[in-house]
Amino acid sequence: MSWIDDPWMGFDTETTGVRALKDRLVTAALVLRIDGASYRSGVSAPDQVATWLTDPGIEIPEQATAVHGITTEQARRDGRPIEEVLHELAGSIVEHWLRGYPVVAFNATYDITLVNQELRRHRLGSFEERLEGAPMLVVDPLVLDRKLDRFRKGKKTLTEMAPVYGAAASPDAHTAEVDVAMTLDVLAGMVDKYPQLASMSALELTDYQRQAHQDWAEDFEKYLRKQGKDANIDREWPQITPRGRGDDQE
């Protein structure tokens, strides 16, 4: 059995901004696809979907609302307490990891780092503390696409990437559960296009992506500096414990 036939847990968040260490969780979605890429055979069980809306405890900027549609008033009225949401969300993710299965996230560093920082902020036990040394198995279609189709023209956003891998680009993108399902579809298309991915274990694939991210970061940093821009791209992937920031409770 390859990791491509393992249960995949897709993960996405919508937040108050784009700073993983500072901004707060607004919505989250987990989509469990029991048969991984095998769902393409048409005999897979339906996706299991869980979603959360929380009150982040701060104002949601208009720029963030324009992306995901959640206002401060809506979050305060309908959102659940952040501690409850984090407990359920992190518990589900960690349980999946402890079973030895991969979590799939597009631009995983952002979402995993943000939720991990929220766990630390509310003193609920970080992913590292909850895993107690067990591996964090992550599959990130963005990292894989940068490595495997490096010179393809166009933006490497989820909606731009979807048709490249035979997935439908949903008009409801930036709704967390829709983005997760689209991400899983993109990954299944990648497995079809690049069969070498199936030859790796989930742990080997995680290590492969870690090196791929480092290679991309070095190349992109050089490119930006040639353009006269000051660039310093972190080499860590997924970056759940930023150096020197582990105790930041802001």
CATH code at 90?
A: 3.30.420.10
- Whether residue 238 is contained in a domain is answered as no
In this model, does residue 150 exceed pLDDT 70? yes
pLDDT at 172 over 70: no
The conformational region for residue 195 under phi > 0 = left, psi -120 to 50 = alpha, else beta, is alpha
The answer to whether residue 243 sits within a structural domain is no
Average pLDDT of span 8-18: 95
**pLDDT at res. 173:** 62
Structural domain contains residue 247: no
Q: What is the pLDDT of residues 100-116, one digit of tens each?
A: 999 999 999 999 999 99
Check pLDDT > 90 for residue 39: no
Q: Is position 30 within any domain?
A: yes
**Residue 45's pLDDT band (cuts 50, 70, 90):** confident
What are the tokens at 88? 């359920």
Which residues, at least 6 apart from 52, have a Cβ–Cβ distance to it below 8 Å?
A: 27, 28, 29, 80, 85, 88, 89
Percent of the chain with pLDDT over 90: 72
Residue 172's domain comprises 3-227
User: pLDDT category, 36, cuts 50, 70, 90?
Assistant: confident
Spatial contact of 245 and 21, defined as CB atoms under 8 Å apart = yes
What one-character-per-residue DSSP string does 87-156 give?
HHHHHHHHHHHHTT--EE-TTHHHHHHHHHHHHHHTTS--HHHHHTT----EE-HHHHHHHHTTT--S--
Whether pLDDT at 9 is above 90: yes
Evaluate whether residue 21 is within a structural domain. yes
- Helix H or strand E encompassing 15: strand 8-15
Cα→Cα distances 219→48, 70, 76, 154, 239, Å: 38, 36, 43, 17, 19
User: Global pTM?
Assistant: 0.88
* pLDDT tens-place string over residues 189-220: 999 999 999 999 999 999 999 999 999 999 98
Number of domains composing the chain: 1
User: Residue 16: is its pLDDT beyond 80?
Assistant: yes
Q: What's the pLDDT band for 237 if we cut at 50, 70, 90?
A: confident
pLDDT band at 176 (very low <50, low <70, confident <90, very high): confident
- Is the confidence at residue 161, as pLDDT, over 80? yes
Question: Do 168 and 17 contact (CB within 8 A), yes or no?
Answer: no
Buried b (16+ CB within 10 A) or exposed e, 170-192: beeeebbbbbbbbbbbbbbbbbe
pLDDT at 242: 45
Does a structural domain hold residue 56? yes
Q: How confident is the model at residue 44 (pLDDT cuts 50, 70, 90)?
A: low
Q: Is residue 246 part of a domain?
A: no
Residue 197 domain-assigned (yes or no): yes
pLDDT value at residue 1: 60
Mean pLDDT of the chain: 89
Average pLDDT over residues 167-176: 75
